[in-house]
Amino acid sequence: MVDWDDCQRRIGVSFCHERLLEQAFVHPSYLNENRGLAVLSNERLEFLGDAVLNFVVTERLYRDFPDLAEGRLTEIRASLVCRDTLAELASALGFGDWLLLGQGEDANGGRTKASNLANALEAFIGALYLDQGLTRTRQFILRQLKPELVGIKAGRTILNYKALVQEFIQGQKRATPVYRLVEATGPDHSKQFTVEIVVEGEPLGRGTAMSKKGAESQAARAAWERLRSNHG
């Protein structure tokens, strides 16, 4: 059984209605294997939390960056609320320890799966909003995102273009981008890698850097700029 008091202590939030907290961590697979329980999955809370999260981040970016154009604000927001960012935040908070999963999902690494962690964080935000209102929820969200927001204001944070492209493509085509090494040139101590990002056989962008990871990021950035241009 999950120790919800320990959960609240570690997260630094105290719920008035603990059932909302519990629901935030109920994965659908748990209910599939435990039918008849008087509890819902976290999917509805996730829906609400996603809306609250987007509003809070949009509001903060609008206030903090008065000179940025809408397109740039959209990019920053998308990077802050993308699955990878949310999963990292949830993992740091220990959300994987409290997920209520079916045995199969648990055995398949469900506690560390990015989608499960990100969904649980959004559900938690929805639960917190219902339990304590917008002001407390805003404080929680901005506390978690503070390092990223500070980094953006200081010009240190690089947007997660790989995550942006992946979420966009999966939302539009239900496909997964593939990064393909095109060539590696130069001596071993100073190689340059060129990588192409491909979706359903179509090249979307190409990048070159001194590492494969850097080349992938450059390719993703080129793809993101192309996608943004094509979709207004």
SS3 of 231, please? coil
Query: What would the pLDDT profile of 97-148 be if each residue is shown by its tens digit?
Result: 999 999 999 999 999 999 999 999 999 999 999 999 999 999 999 999 999 8
Query: What would the pLDDT profile of 157-203 be if each residue is shown by its tens digit?
Result: 667 888 888 888 887 777 889 999 999 998 887 889 999 999 988 99
* pTM exceeds 0.85 for this model: no
Q: Which residues are catalytic?
A: 50, 122
Do 161-230 and 4-153 have the same topology in CATH? no
Q: Which fold has domain 4-153?
A: Ribonuclease iii, N-terminal Endonuclease Domain; Chain A (1.10.1520)
User: Quick check: 8 pLDDT over 80?
Assistant: yes
CATH class of segment(s) 161-230: alpha beta
Average pLDDT over residues 62-74: 89
Query: What would the pLDDT profile of 32-45 be if each residue is shown by its tens digit?
Result: 888 777 789 999 99
Q: What residues does each domain of the chain span?
A: 4-153, 161-230
